[in-house]
Structure 1
Amino acid sequence: MVFNNLNYMVSLLLFLLWVRITCPAWRKPHELHLGSKSAYRNVANHNSSEIKYDSCRAVKLWALIRHGTRHPGFPLIQKIRTRLVAIRDLVLELVRNETIEIKNVESLESWTPEFSEGEGKKLTSEGEDEMFFLGQRLRTRFPKLLRPVYSSSMYHFKHTRSERTEKSAEAFVNGIFGRGADKYVEFPDTPEFDPILRFYKLCDRWMKNVKKHPDAQIEYAKFRSGNETAETVKAVNERLGLGSYLSVNDVHLMYMTCAFETANNKKTISPWCSVFTVNDLMVMEYAEDLKHYWIDGYGYELSYKQACKARDDLIEFFTSKETFPQAKIYFTHSGTLLKMLAHLGLYNQSRHLLADDFSRNVDRTWRVSRIDPFGTNLIFVLFKCHDEQKILTLHQEKAVRLPCCMSSDLCSLKQFLDYYSFKCLFKKICRIP
């Protein structure tokens, strides 16, 4: 009887641990609202059981993968090491003078900037782990397709010309083929702006009329100067006993530091997260969602239509009569993934995201914390089912249903092609008149 009870307790603990890992609702609340700098572990599907469908076999796989967790960029690192340190010192002086009392003051006292200036935008060790275990899980899910023996004819890997995507690709192949595989796996040279992996860098019209145009920042700027943001800045000032000392930029700096430090550490919580309530974080997150919605998402047709370059590569691969390669796996950036998601019609809103609609959009589908954290991946698997070919679409390693196939996880290749095979007029839409 004791033995049975012990088995039951062990099983229960293992189940609770699995739920804690896989279910976002059980995570620390601050982890769920940190925008595009969120950790991939919050959305990953850790269940790596083999994916099988009756009378079907996986024959090809095509994937877009955002690099893993990285260090902040150089300008942000400088602000963390100067401005944020100064704010920390001022708060601690108020605590020592017994002017204020704050929670978690010990963690603030022991905090030092963990990012050095020479590491700007480089992949972190956590980012390497994200990619390594993603590779392992994919191999387990599709063992007959992703065999653990490398062949240059069977696999095509490619990354952009950046340290963070290069190291992500190396960690990923180590996950599939074993530690050290990155030394012999072939990665072709890529141009500075690859037409598949960074097509938007080649779209002059988008760069001028969206990326660098002030109109694309209107909703973001409006929300940053609006009531919700003002209330958040006021609340953080009061919480730290700083009156009206902190600006919107200061509070955003704390938010970004909270995000980067949280993404980079599985076990410890950044003390800068504790200056926010969950509602504060949701306000900060909404500003980030507005920015990406209007620059990378559904705000302008040009943003997502240009992703036809990547879509065409997928279609050509799946419709090719060639057996090899069996997998094409690309390592890229946030801008590519968001535009591709919008191109496919995923996470679309019934109306545009607007600065005035914060309260109406609490349950919005366009939430970058979930659809585009570090390590985001969009994976398509082609199955041969008797005489028919079908496509499985995975986002964050979970099946998603495309607008053309809402009734099933597997979408017939014919339906997919009928819906998405409109002509890619990249040069025409991207040329500045």
Structure 2
Amino acid sequence: MWKIIVVVLFPLCYGGVPNGIVSDWAVFSTKTLYRWAHSVAQPSENSGFNEVYNDRLCEAVHMSMLLRHGARYPSDGSVEEINDIHERLKDGKSINVFPELETWTSPYTEPLASTLNAEGKEEHRLLGQRTALRFRRLFQRNGQYIRFISSDKQRTRASANSFYGGLYNATGDCLYGNQRCAPPTGIANIAPTNLTIDDKIIRFYDGCDKYENDIEDNDDYFKEFKKYEKTEEFLNITKSIRAKLGLPSGFALSSTDVYTLYELCAYDQYTLEPPSPPFWCRLLSNGDREILEYGQDLEKWLESMYGDPLTSRVACPLVRHMLGNLKAAMNTSWDYSNITQEQANRGYTAANFLFGHSETVAQLMATLGLYKDNTPLLATNREALRDRKFKSSKLLPFSANLAFVLYACKAGPNDDNPDNKFLVKMFVNEEVVRIPGCNADACPLDTMLQQYANITNSCDIEKICDDDDDDISGTSVIIINTTVFIATLLLSALSCS
């Protein structure tokens, strides 16, 4: 009995799936679950709150955090591709193999396309819980001064809602929807807040003519990715699938079909309740999935990282927004244990949480100069880049996140200068990552701002995008008003379910 409990619960908590088909689940590129790629262990209370610098005790006073939406259902296009490949394989395969194909009914429908699913909601609820625990004192002191910003997509709005629920130990539709949240038992304080929909900040790449024309919609730009699909190791995957299914020689099996089967292996694990051993995964080996992961990395690297200098410039509005929040929260004379409404009116926030997409996170990373390999990703160098810095499964899974945390350092007993000094730390997927240009994990804010001064000072997005319109996003900014509950954070133990 006890052995069964350990074997079943451990993989579910730490990312494995007990079906024996897949040994490594952290290889599905941007379709990777957060818990497959990163620890979701409960942190110690206030473990991120304090920092010591030059004999000064520093305390977290602000955080600016970008989060990708949680796990979602397949998109409209993927639903069509799934239905298409299923019907063709069902009709084309040998009658003696994979009988599951003949009875399988796709659970992926157009009404649910791209919407947040149960796994995605749980990812963000637990992220909110862990964030609250690491910086509990920050939110206890100034939790009423928090902003939530999202793109105008259901999956990002719903992710913000779930994150809020974990942050404040609340249930219900706190940030959008018709159901109001009930305050935690014994807590009477409530305060209004907003969910701001701002695609200019979150989806800065939408409506950027140069990005869309030169990169996103330019097939020739992705020729290296297409070249990879013609390599021997990729073609061997196609041959293997044909052999396993007994497909006739005239059966058309495209690279898109292969990637659809690869993603179906992951989809079944984070959309079916409960997940079952996915027979789709049997069509690919663990080595096959690593080869396909590199293909997805190559495409993402071209699209959103370092394939073109533009991808390291177009996110400048987001960088300027996040660094601007850091500067607005900095005041050498403030007592951060007792922030006033007047100070909040002058721009102070305890936290800004922004909810976006894999493109948002990737292009922010590129603009900040993170995870840049010395050698560009090419169709011919997968083996040489096996230990590459840019690996989308690790960096850009569902619920990927990047945060700047500002620390105010108080004067010590032997310090003649009473003014606050300021540090900043960067966290990527909840792990400290050193800011480029800094020689320690905790970096003086002035040093960090100087590192990115050229980006923020030259952020003429119309010129960058060659766009004559004032509104580069094609969407207006919408404020969704609601009432939320601000309370002392008494969180329940983190669950891995």
TM superposition shift of 1:337: 0.5
1:401 corresponds, among 416, 420, 434, to: 434
| Aligned mates of 1:252, 1:23 — CA distance in 2 | 22
In structure 2, the CA distance between the partners of 1:263 and 1:136, relative to structure 1 (3 Å rule), is same
2:108 corresponds, among 109, 115, 119, to: 115
1:417 alignment partner in structure 2: 449
User: Are 1:285 and 2:277 matched, yes or no?
Assistant: no
Post-superposition Cα deviations, 1:365-404, rounded to whole Å, max 9, x if no partner, equal 1111111011111111111123421111111111111221
In structure 2, the CA distance between the partners of 1:112 and 1:221, relative to structure 1 (3 Å rule), is same
User: Are 1:171 and 2:171 matched, yes or no?
Assistant: no
Contact 1:74-1:121 at 8 Å conserved across structures? yes
In structure 2, the CA distance between the partners of 1:384 and 1:22, relative to structure 1 (3 Å rule), is farther
1:6 alignment partner in structure 2: none
* Structure 1 range deviating more: 307-316 or 51-60: 51-60
In structure 2, the CA distance between the partners of 1:224 and 1:109, relative to structure 1 (3 Å rule), is same
Post-superposition Cα deviations, 1:103-152, rounded to whole Å, max 9, x if no partner, equal xx57656643221221111110111111111101100110012339963x
1:143 corresponds, among 125, 136, 144, to: 136
User: Are 1:78 and 2:80 matched, yes or no?
Assistant: yes
In structure 2, the CA distance between the partners of 1:149 and 1:127, relative to structure 1 (3 Å rule), is farther
In structure 2, the CA distance between the partners of 1:214 and 1:109, relative to structure 1 (3 Å rule), is closer
Equivalenced residues, count = 409
Once the two structures are superposed, the pairs formed by residues 344-363 of structure 1 within 5 Å of their partners are: 344-363=368-387
Contact 1:126-1:264 at 8 Å conserved across structures? yes
Give the AA of the match of 2:81: K
TM superposition shift of 1:204: 1.6
| Aligned mates of 1:161, 1:20 — CA distance in 2 | 32
Secondary structure at 1:201's aligned position in 2?
coil
Contact 1:29-1:278 at 8 Å conserved across structures? yes
TM superposition shift of 1:426: 2.2
Secondary structure at 2:380's aligned position in 1?
helix
Once the two structures are superposed, the pairs formed by residues 53-92 of structure 1 within 5 Å of their partners are: 53-54=51-52, 55-88=57-90, 90-91=92-93
TM superposition shift of 1:30: 4.2
| Aligned mates of 1:273, 1:235 — CA distance in 2 | 13
| Aligned mates of 1:356, 1:297 — CA distance in 2 | 19
Once the two structures are superposed, the pairs formed by residues 2-401 of structure 1 within 5 Å of their partners are: 21-22=13-14, 28-47=22-41, 48-49=43-44, 50-51=47-48, 52-54=50-52, 55-88=57-90, 90-91=92-93, 93-95=95-97, 111-147=104-140, 151=144, 154-177=145-168, 178-180=170-172, 181-182=174-175, 183=180, 186-191=193-198, 194-244=199-249, 245=251, 246-264=253-271, 267-320=275-328, 321=331, 322-323=343-344, 324-386=348-410, 387-401=420-434
| Aligned mates of 2:389, 2:312 — CA distance in 1 | 17
1:427 corresponds, among 462, 467, 477, to: 462
| Aligned mates of 1:45, 1:420 — CA distance in 2 | 30
| Aligned mates of 2:74, 2:6 — CA distance in 1 | 35
* Structure 1 range deviating more: 179-188 or 278-287: 179-188
Secondary structure at 1:409's aligned position in 2?
coil
Secondary structure at 1:94's aligned position in 2?
coil
| Aligned mates of 1:258, 1:19 — CA distance in 2 | 17
Give the AA of the match of 2:136: P
Contact 1:84-1:253 at 8 Å conserved across structures? no
Percent identity over paired residues? 28
| Aligned mates of 1:397, 1:16 — CA distance in 2 | 26
In structure 2, the CA distance between the partners of 1:78 and 1:212, relative to structure 1 (3 Å rule), is closer
2:185 alignment partner in structure 1: none
Give the AA of the match of 2:31: K
* Structure 1 range deviating more: 268-277 or 367-376: 268-277
* Structure 1 range deviating more: 71-80 or 165-174: 71-80
Question: Gapped runs of 5+ residues in structure 1?
Answer: 1-8, 96-104
1:99 alignment partner in structure 2: none
TM superposition shift of 1:78: 2.3
Contact 1:45-1:398 at 8 Å conserved across structures? no
| Aligned mates of 1:284, 1:313 — CA distance in 2 | 35
2:480 alignment partner in structure 1: none
TM superposition shift of 1:428: 1.9
Secondary structure at 1:64's aligned position in 2?
strand
* Runs of 4+ residues over 6 Å off in structure 1: 13-20
| Aligned mates of 2:133, 2:217 — CA distance in 1 | 43
| Aligned mates of 2:237, 2:372 — CA distance in 1 | 28
| Aligned mates of 1:393, 1:403 — CA distance in 2 | 10
In structure 2, the CA distance between the partners of 1:107 and 1:404, relative to structure 1 (3 Å rule), is farther
Question: Gapped runs of 5+ residues in structure 2?
Answer: 182-191, 332-342, 411-419, 469-497
| Aligned mates of 1:83, 1:228 — CA distance in 2 | 22
Give the AA of the match of 2:69: H
Aligned CA RMSD, in angstroms, stands at 2.9
Contact 2:73-2:115 at 8 Å conserved across structures? yes
| Aligned mates of 2:294, 2:304 — CA distance in 1 | 15
In structure 2, the CA distance between the partners of 1:388 and 1:106, relative to structure 1 (3 Å rule), is farther
Give the AA of the match of 1:262: Q
Give the AA of the match of 1:315: L
Give the AA of the match of 2:465: C
In structure 2, the CA distance between the partners of 1:159 and 1:388, relative to structure 1 (3 Å rule), is same
The answer to which structure has the higher helix fraction is 1
Give the AA of the match of 1:270: P
In structure 2, the CA distance between the partners of 1:272 and 1:149, relative to structure 1 (3 Å rule), is farther
TM-score by length of 1: 0.86
| Aligned mates of 1:384, 1:17 — CA distance in 2 | 41
TM superposition shift of 1:171: 0.7
